[in-house]
Amino acid sequence: MLLLHYRSKRQVEQGLSGQDYETLQQLAQRAEKLQARVDNLERLLDAEAPQWRQRA
C-alpha cells in the first residue's frame, strides 16, 4: 500500500514524535477500514448493477 510506504519513509527521514506516530497509525487504520468498505460496496454493486461503472 502506498500509504504505508510514505508513512515509513517519513518516519525514517524526519523522525516522528510519539503523538505524531500514534496519530498517523490511527489515520492509516481508518484509511484501511474505509478502503475495505469501498471494496465491499463495489462488490455489491458489481453483483446487483453490473453496469454501474459505465455510468460513472
* Strands in 1-56 per DSSP E: none
- The type of residue at 12 is V
Whether the model clears a pTM of 0.75, i.e. scores above it, the answer is no
CA dist 16 and 24 (Å) reads 9
CA dist 25 and 3 (Å) reads 11
The reported pLDDT for the residue numbered 1 is: 54
The reported pLDDT for the residue numbered 49 is: 94
The reported pLDDT for the residue numbered 19 is: 87
**pLDDT mean by block of 10 residues, the chain; 56 residues:** 59 74 91 96 96 84
CA dist 16 and 48 (Å) reads 45
CA dist 38 and 56 (Å) reads 15
The reported pLDDT for the residue numbered 10 is: 62
For cell 525514517, the residue is 12
